[in-house]
Amino acid sequence: MKWDGWRALLSWDAGRLVLRSRQGTPLAEAFPRVRAGAVQLPDGTALDGELVVWDESGRLAFERLQGRIQRRGAGAARLAAQWPAHFVAFDLLRLEGVDVTGLPYVERRAALERLFAERGLTAPWALCPSTTDQATVDEWLTSWTAVGVEGVIFKRLQGPYAPGVRAWKKHKARHTEDAIVGAYTGPATVPRTLLLGRYDAGGRLRFVGRTTTLPQSAGRAVAGLLTLATVHPWAGWSFSAGWGSRETLHVSLVDPQLVVEVGVDVARDSGGRWRHPARWHRARPDVAPGEVPFVE
């Protein structure tokens, strides 16, 4: 499974935990629950996995990981108590001091399963499911996406662990949804991206995401369907260029009347906002804004 969390590498040696992000950022101090749970591991162990948080509804909550890198001490402990993190292990790199990265994945996987079974590992540790059964994969891509699993990762059964090499293949679960255009970036004659919204139950237009760059033909076509707004529920708002970015977008607000269909994945925050840019499919002038499902 492809989890909606932070990829992390972990090693446990002589009572010392090293936990780093894919970019090498130290994470151990920010996740005291994982650090405390390391005593369950045999000495000389290294794992590849994902740090994840589940919300109260049982859905993966990526936004609960945001800001944790800066937290230490009491602040990190409070977040750990409120939103416990788990380390979902999907590969074994070293066991009791023995480097196993040269072994085929099928052997590393078997050793990882034995590690969990023989040591009786419990939270914060979780074993990532792995299968070669297509029916099981189909089930993950339908039922499990409802709780935030983004898709699946494919690995060759006989492949070694190759750090820094893109030897795995990724498949994200995607579907299309309708949303209302509230603003755009770029020139009025050929909008570059669209900022999308949905109404909530209180009648407020909530920002839910932005599209990827539109094809020029789509930009020209949608330009004729947009009307600049004089009064707008998003007036005075600022919009980030992307998740975690400090760059502010220059946007033009439009009358929120045009509905468009876009392709999205399952990664979203608790407010229903899409975390990744949506892919353009088509304009839906046949659909009224009131027909678009409410955002929760």
Phi, psi of 135 (to 5 degrees): -65, -35
Q: Are strands 151-154 and 45-53 parallel, antiparallel or unpaired?
A: unpaired
- Note the maximum CA span of the chain: 67
Short-list 189, 28, 45, CA closest to 121? 45
Helix then strand count (H, E) for the chain reads 5, 14
Positions marked catalytic: 2
C-alpha to C-alpha distances, 240 to 37, 234, 253, nearest whole angstrom: 36, 14, 15
DSSP state of 197: E
3-state secondary structure of 5: coil
Q: In one letter, which amino acid is 246?
A: R
Separation of CA 120 from chain center: 29
Phi, psi of 190 (to 5 degrees): -145, 80
CB 187 within 8 Å of CB 172: no
Place of tokens 């402990």: 77
